[in-house]
Amino acid sequence: MKKLIKIVVFLAILIVVGFKSVYFRKLDEMQVSAGSGLDVAAYTANYFKELNPLLDTSVNVVTLYQALKNKDLSLVKSKGHSLSLGSLKYIMVSGQGIVAKVDSGSIIVNAINNEMVEPVYIETEFIFGNAIRDASGIVKLSDFTNTTDLNNVSSEINKTIRETVVKPFVSTVQKGDTISFNGAIEINEKYLNVSDLQVMPIRLK
């Protein structure tokens, strides 16, 4: 009888210890640290306030494309920004021209400047990445103590552009319209390919 009690007690202890030692969590609950509690929406709203006056100082897209075709990166070096190390740089551009094509995810504009014309691809669906966040040089790494907040700001900026700039514009724009635009372009300084450049829109009129 004593032996039986011993076994029961031992098993009970084993079960309790085992139960307390092992626990299961779903994979998607194991997420990366949640940031510092930065008010991303407020930060983004303030970002756009600071960005608006800077839009008028953007590089003309035709001037930029022609310089890049001649492998001249001086505008990228002087006006481009990036929060990351590496060969990706982001630059703010402006332009105006005639809409040559409207696709489900993009608009092709024949941008004109000083009688020079350049076809420009404006993205209207995949507004993602850091182009709009980094191109202005407003956002500083020192504003952030963690990368989650930095990524969330990028995401919020892009979401704002998709909903408030692109959505109303694509519902009315047509081939042949004359439009003006401001945006940001990602440029790989090391592997430059002008035909792959895409404008992430910031303002479309």
Partner 1 sequence: MTLQRLYRILFVLPAFLCLLASCKQKDKKNQPKKIAIIISSLNNPWFVFLGETAAKKAAEYGYESKIFDSQNNTSTESEHFENAIVSGYDAILFNATDADGSVASVNKAKEADIPVFCMDREINAVGVATSQILSDSYSGCVNLGKYFVQQLDKKGKYVEILGIVGDNNTWSRSKGFHSVVDLYPGLKMVAQQSADFDRNKALEVMESILSANPDIDAVFCGNDGMAMGAYQALLAAGKQNKVKVFGFDGADDVVSAIKDGKITATGMQYPALMANTAAQFAHEYFGGRKNFPEKMPVSVEMVTRKNVDNYVAYGQ
Q: Using the rule CB under 8 A, which residue among 63, 110, 146, 160 binds partner 1?
A: 146
Scanning 12-20, 70-78, 146-154, 170-178 for contacts with partner 1 by CB under 8 A, the matching segment is 146-154
What CA–CA distance (Å, rounded) separates 7 from 201?
72
Per-residue DSSP letter, 23: -
SS3 labels along 116-141: EEEEEEEECCCCCCCHHHHHCCCCCH
Q: Using the rule CB under 8 A, which residue among 128, 137, 138, 194 binds partner 1?
A: 128
Scanning 39-47, 56-64, 69-77, 147-155 for contacts with partner 1 by CB under 8 A, the matching segment is 147-155
Q: Using the rule CB under 8 A, which residue among 58, 82, 124, 136 binds partner 1?
A: 82
3-class secondary-structure state, position 15: helix
Q: Using the rule CB under 8 A, which residue among 59, 61, 88, 184 binds partner 1?
A: 88
Instruction: Of 166, 165, 160, 200, give the one whose Cα is nearest residue 183.
Output: 200
Residue 97 CB: number of other CB atoms within 10 A? 22
Interface with partner 1 (CB under 8 A): 27-28, 30-33, 36, 82-88, 126, 128-130, 141-142, 144-147, 150-151, 154-155, 188, 190-191, 193
